[in-house]
Amino acid sequence: MDDEPGFDRFVAEQADALLRYGYVLTGNPHDAADLVQETLLRVRGAWSKVRRKDNPNSYARITMARLHISIWRRHRREHLTGDPPDRVGHEVFPLEKQQRLWEELSALPRRQRAVLVLRYYEQLTDAEIAKVLGISPGTVRSQASRGLDKLRSSLSPSPATHGSPR
Amino acid sequence: MNDLENELSRFLVDAAERAPRVPAGLSATVKARHRRRRARSAALLAAVAVVVVIGGAGVAVNAVRTSVAPQPVANATDKPTGRAKPPADVIPPSIEKVWPQAVHKIPATLPDGRDYYPELLLDDRTLLVITGITGGKRRFLWSYDLHSGKPTRIAEIPLTKGSQSFADDIAAGDGNIVWWAFKEAGKNQVAQIWTVPVRGGTPRPVSDVPMGNATKQLGQITDLTVVGKNVIFAYEKGGVYRVPLSGGQMQPVKGAERQRILQWPWVGAHRVENGFAELFNAETGERRDAVVAADEEVRCGVIRCAGVKVRYEKVKVTCTVKPCTDKVKQKRVILRSFVRNRDGSGERPLPDPTLYGPTDLALERFFKQILHGPRGESVMALYDVETGRMADLGLRPDAKGLISIPQSQLDALMTYSIGDKMYVLDLSTIE
């Protein structure tokens, strides 16, 4: 048995929002669903503590970010990207520019992408991001600026900077 | 924020709307997986990324050593291999054809329509199930006859007043079922172990179990086991105890004060790295240490260990943006993955790709794999490391592309549902 009052309600209220966050973090629906389920599993495991001490929602979101950049996720994801092509073609955006932005975001190293998502989707400060990801604020800044640079150069119409070598 | 930042911010909010919707029953799925994974939960919670910073440029690098899910590779040489690229695989025959004796296909609901969750095999034809997990306020234990399809109610699980918690970590042995609950709603300082005979009856509390004191939290109860007239359990943070089913004081099991139970009487340290590599028999004192090299990460059962050989190497990072400050990062390279006997003998490579890596083995023997069908579809298969045979479990991605994954445990039971059928596999019947 477990001390779980409120867990169902938490899932009912927050799962959609967590999936949205997971989707922009991971860039595809499969990994988002995986990430959310794994996160909820951990939230469930720590529920009595989380409910008592922390805000479950913020605990879940921090767990998602950490899981996403952790080696555990990376391995799983690498494994799954070698997997079925059935995710190809899911992410098609109406505007070419949006499509390009999405593809560029997908091409970023996952830490850079995580920093950008935490900054511009979660609206966290660099200090908060540093704490969540366990890196220094200086690294947050440099990762963010590098990520933005890549997006900027690829979104720029100049053919000279588009598609820089990788 | 400049234009790009504003655009990015708006774009991410818009893009998030394309996220998949929450699948029905997510909470129940999570809770079911939680129960099945309970034995591993401590390790998983500890496996949050550790970040190591190397190099003057302050490149943050993951250098986590975790055996939670190492990445297997295809060959068994010491050369690093790239990501597995999957052409269409040969899809094995269905599990009903390969191991018909192991498969029981039963309705996914009881005859009265209620959902159930399979807990464990009471014997080779009887499944213990619980109902009322989804939705219902009352929870019941049933024995389900796999041959006749007839469920028999064993007992209603008494709920702690005011608490929504329910029986978790259910175990059974020698004609008795046990579980535990918090004694008072909203307080998690004292738990109670409960029991009821398999043949039915009124559940009764066996003993109170303190969950900690003013200075120390012991974690929750886990690894419940019934042995003869005793219940044996461990705290999540370590410490094995025994209490008579007839009631009385719990007593520490000598020599296992910091251990967890792998499979009674085998106890050992439950760590993220090299879990249960050192085991000892709490009844006879026999030690059974696994052979593990310094560059290996393993997870062990009573007879076998599965793991990976790794190398940490510095790799040069190719930058796409000038000025480039990322010079070097440390990379964990999986050289090969293997399964072998605890004494180091009988090593063989694991197939690629096993789903969660070498740790995800059922009955120390069966690995799940996702294969690629001729149309690129995912096919969930079960691979037997003893015989090399493989069977198609029949699981496919749903309309949203999600595939459900049966849990692997040390015991012989594996269950999953397809449509209105529940597949109950008794892996112990496979020669």
Residues A79 and A97 in one domain: no
Q: Do A1 and A74 fall into the same domain?
A: yes
Number of domains in chain A: 2
Whether residues A97 and A159 fall in one domain: yes
**Contact criterion met (CB < 8 Å) for B19 and A148:** no
Instruction: Spell out which residues of chain B touch residue A54, defining contact as CB-CB under 8 Å.
Output: none
Is A72–B53 a contact, with Cβ atoms under 8 angstroms apart? no
Please tell me if residue B126 touches chain A, with a CB cutoff of 8 Å. no
- Contact of A35 with A73, CB cutoff 8 Å: yes
CATH of the domain at A159: 1.10.10.10
Q: Are A58 and A101 within one domain?
A: no
Q: Do A113 and A84 belong to one domain?
A: no
User: How far away is chain A from the Cα of B66, in angstroms, using its nearest Cα?
Assistant: 8
Annotated domain spans of chain B: 110-252
Cα–Cα dist B154/B139, whole Å: 11
CATH 3.10.129.10 fits B110-252, yes or no: no
Q: Are residues A164 and A136 in the same domain?
A: yes
Residue A21, SS3 per DSSP: helix
Distance, in Å, from the CA atom of B223 to the CA atom of B247, rounded to the nearest integer, reads 19
Q: Does A44 touch chain B (CB under 8 A)?
A: yes
Element (H, E) at B361: strand B361-362
ipTM rounded to 2 decimals: 0.83
> Of A38, A61, A88, which residue sits at a domain end?
A88
Q: Which of residues 122-141 of A touch B (CB under 8 A)?
A: 123, 133-136, 138-139
Give the Cα separation of B258 and A126 in Å (integer).
Answer: 41
Same domain, A96 and A83: no
Residue pLDDT tens, chain B, 431 long: 678 888 888 888 888 877 877 776 788 778 877 776 653 333 332 222 222 122 222 222 222 222 222 223 333 333 333 333 446 788 999 999 999 999 999 999 999 988 888 889 999 999 999 887 655 568 899 999 999 999 999 999 887 765 545 566 789 999 999 998 878 765 557 889 999 999 999 999 999 998 765 556 676 788 899 999 999 999 877 899 999 999 989 999 998 988 999 999 999 987 656 778 899 999 999 999 999 998 887 888 899 988 888 787 776 655 444 454 555 555 667 788 889 999 999 998 886 545 445 556 789 899 888 787 888 777 889 999 889 899 999 988 766 556 666 777 788 999 988 889 999 999 999 99
Q: Which CATH number characterizes residue A7's domain?
A: 1.10.1740.10
* Helix, strand or coil, per DSSP, at residue B197: strand
Q: In this structure, are A103 and A146 located in the same domain?
A: yes
A16 and A61, same domain (yes or no): yes
**Are A100 and A132 spatial neighbours (Cβ–Cβ below 8 Å)?**
no
Provide the domain limits for residue A161.
Answer: 92-166
Per the structure block, which two tokens stand in for A42? 């951990």
Is there a single domain that holds both residue A23 and residue A10? yes
What residues contact residue B162 under an 8 Å CB cut-off, 6+ apart? B185, B186
- Please tell me which of the candidates B16, B20, B332 has its beta carbon nearest to residue A21: B16
A101 and A77 together in one domain: no
Query: How far apart, in whole angstroms, are the C-alpha atoms of residue A32 and residue A68?
Result: 10
The secondary structure element, H or E, covering residue B315 is strand B304-316
Which residue, A43, A63, A88, sits at the end of a domain? A88
A53/A106 same-domain check: no
Domain final residue, candidates A55, A88, A121:
A88
Displacement of CA B179 from its chain's centroid (Å)? 19
